[in-house]
Copies of this chain bind each other. A is one copy, B any other.
Amino acid sequence: MNETDEKPKDDQQPTRRSTVTVHDVARLAGVSSMTVSRVVNGTKVREPLRVKVQAAVEELNYVPNVAARAARSGTNRIGVLFSNPRSSNLGDFLMGAFQQAGTDGTQIIVEPAAGHRHAVDAVRKLVEMGADGIILPPPLCDSLEALDVVWAAGIPALSFATADPRSHSSAVLIDDFEGARAMTRHLIELGHRDIAFVRGDPGHSPALRREEGFRAAMAEARVPIDRARLIDGMFTYRSGLDAGRQLLEVDPAERPSAVFASNDDMAAAITAVALGLGISVPGELSVAGFDDTPIASLMWPPLTTIHQPISEMASKAVEILGESVRHRRSGKEPLVRHHVCTFKLMHRGSTGPRA
């Protein structure tokens, strides 16, 4: 339409970015593009050159082109097998995974496991889509069967946030035992003795480890555990509601002074039940969770919980699996790594000194 030369200056966008390549940097630094590549990738290069290149990179605002890099070095495709697409920390997971992926040109394929009769089919699908490695988030990370299927497909698997890493597959995790122990201590230090613990899904390894951590801390403090204070739960909000009612719909004198739920969803539900019964939190009841999912800071009062650095863990997972894949490509023996991330106790508003 508008093929004339008259360009309405004021309605025109100004600058236009032109792509900066290794060659531009190389020219400016007076070296070969290979040297630039090496500097950027952290390979050995003598100091004087490295400095000049760095300067040129900064001056030109050079950003490596991940796609081109991947095209040359062989693209890794990593599959993520999601069983629960609305899992509360999905956001953090993807954030971390894709950040790492963007850095090294890894391609990520997300496949919802629901809709498949069996994990087997989902894995097969991923393999057909060209996955070179597969990340198994909970609860699949604990499924020996799923792990076996991936193994049988001839590609490396990585268990994400399992508490039971297997020796022939990689894993990224936190120490659930220590996390629960730390939280229990926190409660004890606040003066609580009558502490209830709400279990998680027994088919999920962290649930067990967390209970052990709770028991350990109680034992160390020589606080006996009343069996009636150990409540079954399933990690769902719904099961937390049930646990809360069981624990709190009783004579005030019979109530525990603190509840440690093995995840945030249940802790949130218990808090809602407490508030519903007119029990003040943390005034009359302290509530603690585990995971630090978004709900923990969304609810009121904000939840004291154990922060799992999901995003960082996801990024590490992609990195490790990527290495495994490259290893395998070059014919080396399988690379298996277990990476333990550090958790952090987030002391927020839902726990306080015993009344």
Chain A residues in the interface with B (C-beta under 8 A): 1-2, 11, 13-17, 19, 61, 63, 65-68, 70-71, 74-75, 77, 85-95, 98-99, 102, 105, 107-110, 127-130, 132, 151-155, 168, 237-238, 241, 265, 269, 272, 275-276, 278, 294-295, 297-300, 328, 333-334
Query: How far in angstroms is the closest Cβ of chain B from A288?
Result: 19
Chain B residues with CB under 8 Å of A99's CB are 110
Chain B residues with CB under 8 Å of A61's CB are 128, 130
Chain B residues with CB under 8 Å of A90's CB are 91, 95
Apart from A13-B334, A98-B110: 10 A-B pairs, beta carbons within 8 A: A1-B333, A15-B153, A66-B75, A67-B70, A71-B71, A86-B91, A91-B91, A91-B94, A265-B298, A275-B276
Chain B residues with CB under 8 Å of A151's CB are 13
Query: How far in angstroms is the closest Cβ of chain B from A232?
Result: 18
Chain B residues with CB under 8 Å of A127's CB are 17
**Assembled-state Cα–Cα distance A328/B12 (Å):** 12
With beta carbons under 8 angstroms apart, the residue of B89, B93, B129 that contacts A63 is B129
Query: How far in angstroms is the closest Cβ of chain B from A212?
Result: 27
- How many monomers of this chain does the complex have? 2
A272/B275 in contact, CB under 8 A: yes
**Assembled-state Cα–Cα distance A127/B244 (Å):** 50
- Top 8 closest pairs, chain A to chain B, by CB: A91-B91, A67-B70, A90-B91, A15-B154, A71-B71, A63-B130, A68-B71, A94-B94
B86/A94 in contact, CB under 8 A: no
Query: How far in angstroms is the closest Cβ of chain B from A292?
Result: 10
With beta carbons under 8 angstroms apart, the residue of B2, B16, B17 that contacts A333 is B2
B297/A86 in contact, CB under 8 A: yes
B88/A94 in contact, CB under 8 A: no
A154/B98 in contact, CB under 8 A: no
B71/A67 in contact, CB under 8 A: yes
Chain B residues with CB under 8 Å of A91's CB are 86-94
**Assembled-state Cα–Cα distance A190/B70 (Å):** 57
Residue in chain B with minimal CB distance to A73: B67
**Assembled-state Cα–Cα distance A113/B86 (Å):** 25
